Structure 1
Amino acid sequence: MTLSSHQKRIATALVLVPVIIWIVFQRDRILAAGLFVVAGLGLYEYCSMFWHGRQRNGFLGLGLVLGGMATFAMSPALIQYAPLCMPAIFLILATFFLFSYSRSPSSASFSDLALLLAGVVYLAVMLQLVRFLAPVETMLVLVCAFATDTGGFYAGGLWGQRKIWPGISPKKTWAGSFGGMILTTLCSLLIGLVWGASSWWTFVILGVVLNIAAQMGDFFESALKRWSGVKDSGHILPGHGGIMDRIDSLLFALPIYSLAREVVAFF
């Protein structure tokens, strides 16, 4: 029996959700390994957007090394060295460019290295923010990011007509945007009422803010794909597309929540 795209989407979610929950509640090494695997798969898709063949493999290998550095530097045992992570990554790329330029000035490309640096920050470094959150906080951000996608997908499919930003994402509609916001806000409020330590209305505001961040993350990845001339980031997740298609909302919601928790003690 052949499954429809929607059935594949549901089946993939049913398999992934228990795995994600298990990893979130496993701290330190298992969590770090899980984040590195997700970042590595995301970097593969990212590098495939801009480079091909041996060039892609070369940038991917360098990206994995730098992503591994970020994972290692942000471990709880070495947290005092975390501020040195980004300068160290930049120095490595700068040194790489120097030697590349000395060998062949015409083929050396600083813009390629800048693009790789952006990818490492976007995928590997951003995901490391999970390691500074309590499990319930991580679940909140994950639920809100996925609620943005799910609410937008179904509300847009049922009622979507007017496009919200067709130059960036031709399929996104205002109905989908509001549907995702409503579901995300309800999820945030429910988690806050059950486990939160702050007022209910702070979780309503948090849900709205995280939804906007998640939608911007979705639009950002769509813009990347259009800029690079790629339709899909990948096909590793049946019914969902690539890893980047699944975590693009999360990658923007994570830093926003990390900033918000410094202002309000949600838990």
Structure 2
Amino acid sequence: MKTRIITGIVGGAGFLLLVYAGGVWFTSLIFFMATIAYYELIRMNKMKIFDWPALAGLLLLWLLILPRMVWQGEFIRGDILYIFVLLFLFITVASKNRIQYRHVAYILFSCIYLGIAFHFMNETRLVQGLGITLAILFSTWATDTGAYFAGKFFGKTKLWPSISPNKTVEGSLGGIVLTVIVMVIFALSLHSVPLAKALILGVVVSVSGQIGDLMESAVKRTLDVKDSGSILPGHGGILDRFDSLIVVFPALHLLQLL
């Protein structure tokens, strides 16, 4: 527990410092975290990061994360994605089926899953600014806190026992309530987000964050691993700590709630 608390304080402070700095500092952090998360997914599936398919996937991941301003030209992400699909298919042929379709499919999905998420995480800080970014971050973290305490004191009905046996419906509802409260506080502080919109944002952040948590739990159960990594002592890996945010930022973008 002591290690977990120290890691949380030091890691959280460092993360928030770079969020505050923004610009190239935060973008560099995004690329670093995405790279580690990608490595964790590759390792979880017992694949090697220095194999050609994994290296090609890493390049695709970096391209997907690049800010929108870089993509102002003839090519769009869909074009690049299709080129890499063809590249991965060529790799399966060139390797004489040593590298199978299921391997490159796993890599391709991992790139898209992480690339889109970390792109919008960075894009939100670049375009929407510090206030909105902090509102989303603290609201997402409030979901975990609210769910933990509501589940501990009131939890009776299992939410999805086959994927995450400790989560309860009561905990989930507690997470939503606390997230909405935090989002409303930020809305009142920023004076730029209407109260009604803040309520909707809070619900979307909490629900999508919990879905992200369940998704990562499902992946780990499928691959029979406990933690995605060990880079954060007492907390696990990047995927373990950012599983909610990986879904929250794309969800907000898709719903055009920002």
Please indicate, yes or no, whether the TM-score normalized by the shorter chain is above 0.5: yes
In structure 2, the gaps of 5 or more residues are: none
1:64 aligned partner: 58
Q: How far is 1:57 from its partner? A: 3.6
What is the 5 A alignment of 1:213-252?
A: 213-252=208-247
Cα distance between partner residues in 2 of 1:34 and 1:167: 34
- Alignment gaps of 5+ in structure 1: none
Structure 2 equivalent of residue 176 of structure 1? 171
Matches of 2:155 and 2:74 in 1, distance apart? Answer: 44
- SS of 2:106's equivalent in the other structure is helix
* TM-score of the pair, normalised by structure 1: 0.85
Q: Deviations over 1:199-251 (max 9, x none)?
A: 21321221011100100111111111111122221222223222101111101
Whole-angstrom CA distance in 2 between matches of 1:252 and 1:120: 14
Aligned-partner Cα distance in 2 for 1:24–1:32: 9
Shift of residue 91, structure 1, vs aligned partner: 1.4
C-alpha change, 1:184 and 1:65, in structure 2 (3 Å) is: same
CA contact (8 A) 2:116 2:250 kept: no
One-letter code of the match for 1:109?
Answer: Q
TM-score if structure 2 supplies the norm length?
Answer: 0.88
Match of 2:90 among 98, 108, 121: 98
Alignment correspondent of 2:72: 80
Q: Residue 48 of structure 1 corresponds to which residue in structure 2? A: 43
CA RMSD of aligned residues (A): 2.2
Deviations 1:91-132 (A, max 9, x none): 13422431441441x324122112111111111331111232
Q: What is the match of residue 114 of structure 2?
A: 123
Partner of 1:205: 200
Aligned equivalent of 1:38, options 33, 38, 51: 33
2:146 counterpart of 1:151: yes
SS at match of 2:162: coil
Which deviates the most, 164-173 or 128-137?
A: 128-137
Q: Offset at 1:46?
A: 0.7
The number of equivalent residue pairs is 253
Say whether the 8 Å CA contact 2:65–2:118 is kept in structure 1: no
Distance, in Å, in 2 between the alignment partners of 1:174 and 1:40 is 34
The 8 Å contact of residues 164 and 173 in structure 1, kept in 2 or not, is answered as yes
2: distance between equivalents of 1:166 and 1:112? Answer: 29
Q: Counterpart of 1:146 in 2: which secondary structure?
A: helix
Matches of 1:47 and 1:40, distance apart in 2: 11
Percent of pairs with identical residues? 30
Deviations 1:148-193 (A, max 9, x none): 1222223323332321001111111122212211211111010001
Distance 1:81-1:48 versus aligned 2 partners, 3 A rule: farther
